[in-house]
Amino acid sequence: MSDLFKEKAGDWDASQMKIELSSAIGSTILAQVSLNNEMKVMDFGAGTGLLTSHILPRVNSISAVDTSASMLDKLAGKPEFHGKVTAVCQDITRKKLDAKFDLIISAMALHHVEDTAGLMETFAEHLNAGGQIALADLDKEDGTFHPADVEGVFHHGFEHEALKTIIESKGFADVQFHTAHTVHREDKSYPIFLVVASKN
Ligand SMILES: C[S@@+](CC[C@H](N)C(=O)[O-])C[C@H]1O[C@@H](n2cnc3c(N)ncnc32)[C@H](O)[C@@H]1O
């Protein structure tokens, strides 16, 4: 598994933009999803655990799934996560986990997975009946959010209606979009959605 975030992991948490974004996504999840400390939660594309840190106080334990060993090394080094967050370095779209969850959360990882329909199917397979997804990513953008030559970016954001159709086709209902945040950079604005849905 190639680690496309190896160079970025070291100073990931030093970015004010990333801190503000994960905080806004975390607050929107807390406002839109009922959480309790019995729930089994997966943070997909958890990275260094910025989103995990916002949700953990309300659920007690989280499985942090990511394909980047470097990002997960940073996560595993955070003392506040010890005994509560399990780092899982695996591409679950290729090899399923032997576990089911009540909630799958994610921040800014969907655009790194080429097959969105396959990913939603993978999420459905990892959820208990009635389980939920709460996924944040970019609204459709003009391709300027990432540098032009960056590897591993498969989508320049997502159209809500097209993503809703995919999510519903994989067995989810009650699909709701919320605006979690807007990233402002130079003269551009990049809205970030949170989509919440329940497995049928
Ligand atoms: C933009 S970063 C976001 C990290 C973190 N969620 C945050 O908000 O700071 C995207 C993350 O998705 C991970 N990722 C990309 N493809 C993945 C896949 N197929 N399975 C799991 N994680 C993946 C990357 O390794 C990276 O850590």
Q: List pLDDT tens digits, range 14-23.
A: 999 999 999 9
Q: Model confidence at 155, in pLDDT bands (50, 70, 90)?
A: very high
Distance 113 CA to ligand 1 centre (A): 9
Site residues for ligand 1, CB cut-off 6 Å = 5, 18, 22, 44-47, 50-51, 65-68, 71, 91, 93, 107-109, 112-113
Q: Is the pLDDT of residue 1 over 80?
A: no
Residue 57: the pLDDT is 96
| pTM, entire model | 0.97
C-alpha 145/C-alpha 158 separation (Å) is 13
| E strand segments, 48-125 | 62-66, 85-89, 101-107
Distance 5 CA to ligand 1 centre (A): 8
Residue nearest ligand 1's atom 14 by CA = 45
Residue 191: the pLDDT is 98
Amino acid at 114: E
Q: Evaluate whether the domain defined by 16-29+37-199 bears CATH number 3.40.50.150.
A: yes
CA-closest candidate to residue 78, choices 34, 104, 108, 46: 46
Distance 6 CA to ligand 1 centre (A): 12
3 state DSSP class of 103 = strand
The percent of residues above 90 in pLDDT, for the chain, comes to 93
pLDDT digits (tens, 9 = 90+) for 30-75: 999 999 999 999 999 999 999 999 999 999 899 999 999 999 999 9
Residue nearest ligand 1's atom 11 by CA = 45
| E strand segments, the chain | 41-44, 62-66, 85-89, 101-107, 127-138, 172-185, 188-199
